[in-house]
Amino acid sequence: MSRLALLSVSDKTGLVELAKALVESFDFEIVSSGGTANAIAAADLPVTKVSDYTGSPEILGGRVKTLHPRIHGGILGRPALPSDAEDMAANNIRTFDLVVVNLYPFEQTIAKPDVTLPEAIEQIDIGGPTLIRAAAKNHAFVTVLCHPEQYPLYLQQMTDHEGEVTPGFQQDCARQAFWHTATYDQAIATYLSGADAEAEIDTATELPQRWTMTGLQRQQLRYGENPHQPATWYQTGNVSSGWAAAELVQGKPLSYNNLVDLEAARRIIAEFPPQVPAAAVLKHTNPCGAAQGESLAEAYQKAFDADSVSAFGGIVALNRPIDGDTATAMTQTFLECIVAPGCDDEAKAVLAKKGNLRVLLLADLLSGPAQAPRAIAGGFLVQETDNIEDDPSGWEIVTEQKPDADTLEELLFAWRLVKHVKSNAILVTNNRTTLGVGAGQMNRVGAAKIALDQAGKNAQGAVLASDGFFPFDDSVRTAAAAGIRAIVQPGGSKRDPDSIKAANELGLVMAMTGIRHFLH
Residues annotated catalytic, as ranges: 137, 284
**Nearby residues of 168 by Cβ (< 8 Å), 6 or more positions away:** none
Using CA atoms, how far apart are residues 398 and 497, in angstroms rounded to an integer? Answer: 9
Cite the DSSP H helix spans in 331-442. 345-351, 405-418
Contact predicate 304/329, CB 8 Å: yes
Q: What is the DSSP letter of 253?
A: P
Q: Terminus-to-terminus CA distance in the chain, angstroms? A: 65
Q: How many CB atoms lie within 10 A of CB 259?
A: 17
3-state DSSP call for residue 480?
A: helix
Contact predicate 154/145, CB 8 Å: yes
C-beta pairs of 50-58 under 8 Å, 24+ apart in sequence: 50/8, 58/33, 58/34
Using CA atoms, how far apart are residues 179 and 176, in angstroms rounded to an integer? Answer: 5
- Count the residues in the chain: 520
- The CA–CA distances, whole Å, from 364 to 174, 274, 279, 287, 491 equal 36, 11, 16, 20, 34
Using CA atoms, how far apart are residues 313 and 172, in angstroms rounded to an integer? Answer: 42
Measured at the CA of 135, the angle between CA 96 and CA 167, to 5 degrees, comes to: 85
Amino acid, res. 8: S
At 131, phi and psi to the nearest 5? Answer: -65, -45
Buried b (16+ CB within 10 A) or exposed e, 205-231: eeeeeeeeeeebeeeebeeeeeeeeeb
Q: What is the DSSP letter of 208?
A: P
Buried b (16+ CB within 10 A) or exposed e, 88-105: beeeebbbbbbbbbbbbe
